[in-house]
């Protein structure tokens, strides 16, 4: 990057902040409120600081210099350098990506192996309960839309998905190759300014999960019939826009809001009085928990089964599963668990959850319930 133009741009920015920005902001306050308006207790002297305190409070509320300065800086970074603040990577044609999909966390390789061991251990635990665990990975948005990334993707990140599939398969874990199905219509499967998949993306992955269940696990029965209906169009303010704070001053210059049509899934009338026993559980992240994407509904329809959704927002994929495993009574009558795991979380550390200890306690509980005891080791 040429230093001289960069310094010039920042110099202009500095001058704007010190001159134009205060004038514009103050003018806006005066126009909105019809002039200065703040109260001073007439019984108090100007010398005791009351006047000064109220004056400062007025400007804190109305000048909004800080907010405008942030927007100006964000606009410069976005329009001049095609950058956002930490947390987002600006791609081509208005596409935004989470930096979590590109940057490498500390001890990434070690964390990846530990997480894969954890997943395999959870699968073994469910197998002992005669329950099938299926891993439904969510490929990184940048993997599916690689052509929209303006820059290189670390090779260690690029290898994660293939390594995950191969490692889990070697461990005997049922894992769906969801990426194969997402390459067909990549541009419609994720939102431009959000980390999440669109309802179309959720539907494709739900169908891929059901197809795997029938072809690889050998399930054939369809217990219930569901139908999905499109709802009114909604506006989406992408979560990645929080890292490009152009609003309210420069909103119209940046990536505009997105619109999508959510959907809702219902059991058909003939099945409303069928058995209400739940034999399928869904565990995952906001990809599964957020009803706007309707992944749970699409999965019901594709599987032909009702399900209980234990997914949670903002907790990653491991904490919801850890919480579910603390009460094994919920697995009574269950024969299928679908665990949705976004690829971008595979290299993060979750060692504080101590899955091995929890699974060991659960195994002892199962043995005790069966009237058996664990032989002490010498």
pLDDT at 59 over 60: no
pLDDT of 372? 44
pLDDT of 182? 87
pLDDT of 221? 65
Active-site entry in 194, 263, 288, 311:
194
Query: Residue 94: pLDDT band by 50, 70, 90 thresholds?
Result: confident
Is 77 part of the annotated catalytic residue set?
no
pLDDT at 233 over 50: yes
N-to-C CA span, the chain: 65
Is 196 part of the annotated catalytic residue set?
yes
Query: Residue 231: pLDDT band by 50, 70, 90 thresholds?
Result: very high
Least confident residue range of 64-73, 171-180, 350-359: 64-73
Q: Model confidence over 304-346: pLDDT tens digits? A: 999 999 999 999 999 999 999 999 899 999 999 999 999 999 9
Structure tokens at 260: 């999508």
Structure tokens at 43: 């019984």
pLDDT at 108 over 80: yes
pLDDT of 362? 86
Higher pLDDT, 365 or 131: 131
pLDDT at 220 over 60: yes
Active-site entry in 123, 196, 288, 311:
196
Query: Residue 288: pLDDT band by 50, 70, 90 thresholds?
Result: very high
Higher pLDDT, 55 or 207: 207
Angle at Cα 100 formed by Cα 172 and Cα 244, nearest 5°? 150
pLDDT of 2? 44
Active-site entry in 25, 286, 288, 311:
286
Query: Residue 62: pLDDT band by 50, 70, 90 thresholds?
Result: low
Q: Model confidence over 13-24: pLDDT tens digits? A: 555 555 555 555
Is 174 part of the annotated catalytic residue set?
no
């Amino acid at each position: 990057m040429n230093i001289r133009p960069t310094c010039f741009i920042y110099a202009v920015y500095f001058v704007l902040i010190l001159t134009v920005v205060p004038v514009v902001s103050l003018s806006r306050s005066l126009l909105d409120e019809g002039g200065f308006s703040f109260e001073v207790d007439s019984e108090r002297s100007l010398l005791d600081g009351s006047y000064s305190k109220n004056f400062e409070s007025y400007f804190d509320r109305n000048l909004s210099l800080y907010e405008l300065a942030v927007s100006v800086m964000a606009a410069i970074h976005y329009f001049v350098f095609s950058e956002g603040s930490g947390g987002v990577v600006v791609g081509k044609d208005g596409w935004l990506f989470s930096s979590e999909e590109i940057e490498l966390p500390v001890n990434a390789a070690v964390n990846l192996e530990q997480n894969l061991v954890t997943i395999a251990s959870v699968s073994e635990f469910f197998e002992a309960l005669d329950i099938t665990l299926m891993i439904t990975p969510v490929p990184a948005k940048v993997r599916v839309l690689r052509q929209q990334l303006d820059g290189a993707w670390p090779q260690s990140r690029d290898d994660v998905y293939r390594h995950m599939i191969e490692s889990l398969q070697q461990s005997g874990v049922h894992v769906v190759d969801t990426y194969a199905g997402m390459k067909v219509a990549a541009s419609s499967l994720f939102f431009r300014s959000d980390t999440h998949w669109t309802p179309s993306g959720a539907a494709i992955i739900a169908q891929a999960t059901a197809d795997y269940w029938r072809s690889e696990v050998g399930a054939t029965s369809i217990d219930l019939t569901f139908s999905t209906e499109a709802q009114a169009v909604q506006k989406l303010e992408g979560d990645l826009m929080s890292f490009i704070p152009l609003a309210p001053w420069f909103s119209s210059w940046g990536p505009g809001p997105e619109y999508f049509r959510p959907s809702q899934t219902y059991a058909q009338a003939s099945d409303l009085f069928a058995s209400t026993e739940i034999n399928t559980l869904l565990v995952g992240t906001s990809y599964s928990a957020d009803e706007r994407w309707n992944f749970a509904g699409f999965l019901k329809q594709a599987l032909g089964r009702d399900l209980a959704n234990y997914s949670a927002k903002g907790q990653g994929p491991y904490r919801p599963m850890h919480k579910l495993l603390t009460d094994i009574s919920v697995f009574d009558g269950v024969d299928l668990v679908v665990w949705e795991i976004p690829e971008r979380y595979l290299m993060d550390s979750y060692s504080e959850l101590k899955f091995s200890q929890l699974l060991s306690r659960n195994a002892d509980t199962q043995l005790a319930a069966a009237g058996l005891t664990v032989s002490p080791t010498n």
